[in-house]
Amino acid sequence: MALLEVRDIVVRFGGVTAVGGVSFDVNERQICGLIGPNGAGKTTLFNVISGIYRPQEGSVRFAGTVTTGQPRHRMAPLGLGRTFQNLALFKSMTVRENILAGAHSAGGAGFLANALRLPRARAEEAAAARRARELIHLLQLDAVADKPVVDLPFGTQKRVEMARALISQPKLLLLDEPAGGLNHGEVDELAELFQHVRRSFDLAILLVEHHMSLVMRVSDKVVALDFGKKIADGTPDEVRSSPEVIRAYLGDGHAEAVHAA
Ligand SMILES: Nc1ncnc2c1ncn2[C@@H]1O[C@H](COP(=O)(O)OP(=O)(O)OP(=O)(O)O)[C@@H](O)[C@H]1O
């Protein structure tokens, strides 16, 4: 059984079919890239998987549980972590405080136990503080750990967001355009970081990304969308050489040229 099973997802906005019946799987410890030209339906599908949109048709099953239709706050406890395209950090809070905020959204002790500082809540807090320290170290944030996020470069803020998603110990990390706004050096660092994070946490990663060379470099498998349909699903090499993918990105003439070659 795959870790994530996306089945026949359909999402319509009025007369626009943003996603028109897409299915694919992500296995445990797999890095899967979701690509496609502008308007292909990537963000819409990502929002279905992370529980923000409820599809008109189809289902998402994560670790054996159907997640479509479940409230969004149930996703982190199930083992789904995510980051956002435009960052969703508390800017005036420090790096450490932001990372710890991710632990609170997944905490099991509950509001009352936390408010009364019952032993279970205190143990959870201590464990979260320890995990935050480990993540700060792993994501090379030691030097800025107690600085407000607002003062940090964009690339560093992205690492903070990843740490915040990781503190809830997800089985699948959903990354929305992690390379957006990063320079060349930062993209190279990100590629290494993905491998490192996968190894250290034994998790799977699904990334929506425009940066093609990053996707092809880090992914075990790639799913390509165009006009809301899946046009390819395979290894980076298979997807890169798919005539449908070449046509979607470059137009008909190129696809025929590649096909003839
Ligand atoms: N909230 C919405 N209301 C109406 N139409 C929408 C909405 N969100 C997306 N769409 C439409 O659905 C289609 C798919 O959009 P989506 O943003 O999912 O594509 P994308 O592949 O993520 O594109 P991009 O790479 O530009 O972010 C597009 O035609 C878009 O205009």
Kindly tell me the sign of the dihedral angle through the C-alpha atoms of 112, 114, 116, 118: positive
| pTM (two decimals) | 0.87
**CATH topology assigned to domain 1-79+170-261:** Rossmann fold (3.40.50)
pLDDT in tens, 164-203: 989 988 999 999 888 888 888 888 888 888 888 888 888 9
At 107 the pLDDT is 52
pLDDT value for 83: 77
Give the model's pLDDT for residue 45: 96
90, 97 contact by CB (below 8 A): yes
Structure tokens, 242: 């798919």
CA of 64 to the centre of ligand 1 (A): 29
- The 3-state DSSP class for residue 246 equals helix
Residue whose CA is at the smallest distance from ligand 1 atom 28: 39
The residue to mutate among 43, 209, 210, having the most atoms of ligand 1 within 8 angstroms of its beta carbon, is 43
Residue 109 has pLDDT above 60, yes or no: no
Kindly tell me the number of DSSP H helices and DSSP E strands found in the chain: 11, 10
List where CATH 3.40.50.300 sits in the chain: 1-79+170-261
Tell me the pLDDT tens digit for each residue of 44-97: 999 999 998 999 999 999 999 999 988 877 787 888 988 776 667 888 899 999
